[in-house]
Structure 1
Amino acid sequence: MRLDRRAVLRIGGVSLAGLVAGCADQGGNTTTEPNGASADTTEPTGAGGMQTETTETTEPTELPTETDTQTTQNATESPADTTTDTNATETTQTATPEPDGQVVDIDNLAFAPMEVSVEPGTEVRWVNRDGIPHDVTSAQFNSGATQWDFQEEAEGGEEINYTFDDPGTYEYYCSIHGKSTMCGVVLVGDASRAGSLPCE
């Protein structure tokens, strides 16, 4: 049986079309999804074949955000520490106070000074600087003198004390050596001498 030219061309075209279709089936279908995700699907040719689908998904990578927080704290300056040395010993030199009152020296058979003026409440101290005993005996040589009663003796180096509390003119002498040799007067407050003394 002879085939004409048209029949041959028609048969050849059908065979070529089938071959192209088979190659397309073997190559499989590839689908690319946006955002970096791709899906590969492979279908075997022929009936009853197992279909295997492989899907690869790539999630977009998020870059970590690093936040640096810098906190500045105001430093509070503490006052300087003060160290106290409790073991330190302070030495204070205290001058020896002079004895209170008025001093009358008994020396060379005389009262020196013979006349003293003091304020009420003052203590008069008669210091015996002679090597022999003396005394202080109250007297009233002048009518204007103050009357008082006192007598006390002191050995050499000793002293006699008397406090004059009231204003007045107080005359006295040494009874051991006599009024014409040793006498004196104490003026207290605003008092003045009542007259001359027998030892002057």
Structure 2
Amino acid sequence: MKSALFALSLVIATSMFSSGCYSKETMDSPPQKANTPPATMNTASMMDVSIMGFAFNPENVTVKIGSSITWTNQDRAPHTITSDDGSWDSGKIMQNGKYTHKFDKAGMFTYYCTVHPSMKGSIIVTP
């Protein structure tokens, strides 16, 4: 009985391997994501950006005029969301804190964290 089960297991494994149902690449590689572009365009009136690992995620966002973006600080360190032109600034946002800004005109708006100037992001506002 054991030898019959072994033989059956061997036949199944061999057929899976030869049919492509199993491969070393599949076992060693992380699951592949669907081939979809990153979600940076938002047609809704709200968009969320997380602050995590000393980075804005997503770093670059495209929204329509009238949209609001809410940044949430998920780091333990304080951060700011400060426009490069100085027209808006969140002040220091502590862990789990939020800041929301509404974009009423089209254009490209770049911003950074004054506490960690290497943290940068951009927002494209379209009509």
- TM-score, length basis structure 2: 0.61
For residues 71 and 88 of structure 2, what CA distance do their matches in structure 1 show? 13
Match of 1:164 in 2: 103
Q: How many Å apart are 1:100 and its aligned residue?
A: 5.4
Q: Which has the higher contact order (CA 8 A, sep 6+)?
A: 2
Q: Tell me if 1:175 matches 2:120.
A: no
- Matched with 1:149 is 87
Q: What fraction of aligned residue pairs are identical, expressed as a percent?
A: 30
Mark the CA change 1:148 to 1:165 in structure 2 (over 3 Å): closer, same or farther.
farther
Q: Which amino acid aligns with 2:79?
A: H
Kept in 2, the 8 Å contact 1:148–1:170? The answer is no
**Change in 2 beyond 3 A, CA 1:117/1:173:** same
Q: Which runs of 4+ in 1 moved over 3 A?
A: none
Paired position in structure 2 for 1:138: 83
| Residue 120 of structure 1: aligned partner | 65
**SS of 1:184's equivalent?**
strand
Larger radius of gyration: 1
CA contact (8 A) 2:63 2:124 kept: yes
The structural deviation recorded for 1:136 is 0.6
Does the aligned pair in 2 maintain the 1:115–1:185 contact within 8 Å? yes
Q: 1:184 to 1:121 in 2, by over 3 A?
A: same
- Which stretch of the first structure deviates more once superposed, 120-129 or 181-190? 181-190
Partner SS, residue 80 of structure 2:
strand
Is the Cα contact below 8 Å between 1:106 and 1:128 reproduced in 2? yes
The one-character-per-residue Cα deviations of 1:106-147 (angstroms, maximum 9, x if unpaired) are 0000001110000000000011001111001111xxxxxxx5
Determine the structure 1 residue equivalent to 2:54: 109
Count of paired positions: 83
Task: Report how far residue 150 of structure 1 moved.
Answer: 1.0
Any gaps of 5 or more consecutive residues in structure 2?
A: 1-43
Structure 2 CA distance for aligned equivalents of residues 114 and 135 of structure 1:
14
For structure 1, list consecutive stretches of 5 or more residues without a partner in the other structure: 1-98, 140-146, 191-200
Q: Which has the higher helix share?
A: 2
- Aligned partners of 1:127 and 1:184: how far apart in 2? 14
Distance 1:172 1:161 in 2: 14
